[in-house]
Amino acid sequence: MALALASQLWALLDEMAESDPRAYWRLQRRLQGRPEPHLSLRGRAQGASGPLFINICSWKRVPAPQGPSDPTPVSTGRLEEVTEGEALYSIIDVAFNPDVLQRGEENPEHTEHLIRLTLKFVEERCNLVLSDSYTMESFRLKGSLEAMQQRLAGGWMPAPFLSQHTKKELTLDQVLHAAEAEDAGNAPVLLREEGTAQSKACLIEEIASCEMPEKPSTPAYELTTVRDANKNPLRIELRVELPRAGSVAECDLSISKDDLIIEVPGKYKLQLDLPEPVDEEAATATFNKGKRVLVVTAPVARPDP
């Protein structure tokens, strides 16, 4: 019954993507949203020449734990070194479901607990040794919003939760792939805070495959700027060949004013700087299932008066 429902949902989304692509991508953005800053931590790793900033972010795309004793899903971006003038520091972004962070606002002990788990998670994830002390910064985000969103979007790789003691969980994208997800099996990354009982939700589970995934390839593409008779840019058109993608629902598109990312998890990844600033809210995308070609069109943003 569940698989049949997932197949019907898949078909409806495909039909919507072909008949009204703008509405489809608007729906995708509404369902998944974008990562938003919540708080920023300042710590230090042993042997590092500068501080380490950890941006804890809110992202609807990350599922919430089903119960207080279940693992807390987390998504993370890459660890990055940044130079600002003579200052050198490292930065990493960690995203939780908004409900998890909301509980922290209602209970300071929950926030402290989550921060300690996040620090332990970053140590394990990046093979670091962090100092015991940290500072909660007055600002919510270290660095730019766009850079944070790109790091998290680039690090996103949906995978089912699997554990000997928990049933399978699916991300939003995998609801559309329920039949395939039934056969997936990847051990989760679990972290337990020492001296804390499981009943206090002391586990964090990374939403990423623990096995080495196949490196996504860069698809063939053609990027064109359409201009009017006076050579003024009107719109950007991008044509991407995705022969191993069977449906538009497999394609994850993230577009900002200056760049875009197209990803088919485990198959393709394309990140481009756009030649002209665009109106991302008016962008559309269509997928030709016969030719396996994704076409993205975005009007050039009008200059501010």
Clarify whether residues 40 and 89 are in a common domain.
Answer: yes
pLDDT at residue 154, as a whole number: 63
Single out the residue in 174, 206, 238 at which a domain terminates.
206
Clarify whether residues 283 and 170 are in a common domain.
Answer: no
Single out the residue in 206, 232, 261 at which a domain terminates.
206
Q: How far apart are CA 9 and CA 245, in angstroms?
A: 18
**Within a domain: residue 8?**
no
* CA 144, 37, 24, 209 torsion-angle sign: positive
Clarify whether residues 39 and 77 are in a common domain.
Answer: yes
Clarify whether residues 75 and 153 are in a common domain.
Answer: yes
**Within a domain: residue 264?**
yes
Of 225, 296, 234, residue with least CA distance to 260: 296
The end-to-end CA distance of the chain, in Å, is 55
pLDDT at residue 90, as a whole number: 94
Q: How many domains are there within the chain?
A: 2
Q: Report which DSSP code applies to 248.
A: G
**Within a domain: residue 266?**
yes
For the chain, which ranges sit under pLDDT 70? 1-14, 16-18, 20-33, 154-214, 304-305
pLDDT at residue 8, as a whole number: 63
pLDDT in tens, 245-273: 887 778 888 888 888 999 888 789 999 99
pLDDT at residue 269, as a whole number: 92
Name beta bridge partners: 205: 73, 190
**Within a domain: residue 127?**
yes
Single out the residue in 176, 206, 236 at which a domain terminates.
206
Q: Which amino acid, residue 77?
A: G
**Within a domain: residue 213?**
no
Clarify whether residues 48 and 196 are in a common domain.
Answer: yes
Task: For residue 61, count CB atoms less than 10 angstroms from its CB and return exposed for 0-12, middle for 13-18, buried for 19 or more.
Answer: buried
**pTM (predicted TM-score):** 0.49
Clarify whether residues 197 and 257 are in a common domain.
Answer: no
Half-sphere exposure of 95 (CA within 13 A, CB side): 28
**Within a domain: residue 126?**
yes
Clarify whether residues 49 and 175 are in a common domain.
Answer: yes
**Within a domain: residue 304?**
no
Clarify whether residues 86 and 198 are in a common domain.
Answer: yes
Torsion angle (degrees, nearest 10) of CA 182, 204, 266, 150: 140
Clarify whether residues 146 and 254 are in a common domain.
Answer: no
Alpha helices in the chain (DSSP H): 2-19, 21-32, 98-106, 108-126, 145-155, 172-175, 178-181
Clarify whether residues 90 and 163 are in a common domain.
Answer: yes
**Within a domain: residue 73?**
yes
Structural domain boundaries, residue 234: 221-299
Clarify whether residues 166 and 88 are in a common domain.
Answer: yes
Of 108, 110, 101, 104, residue with least CA distance to 193: 110
Q: How far apart are CA 182 and CA 79, in angstroms?
A: 32
Residue linked to tokens 């009007």 = 299
Q: Say what angle helices 98-106 and 108-126 make with each other, to 10 degrees.
A: 140
Clarify whether residues 85 and 194 are in a common domain.
Answer: yes
Q: How far apart are CA 44 and CA 42, in angstroms?
A: 7
Q: What is the CATH number of the domain that holds 245?
A: 2.60.40.790
Q: Report which DSSP code applies to 249.
A: G
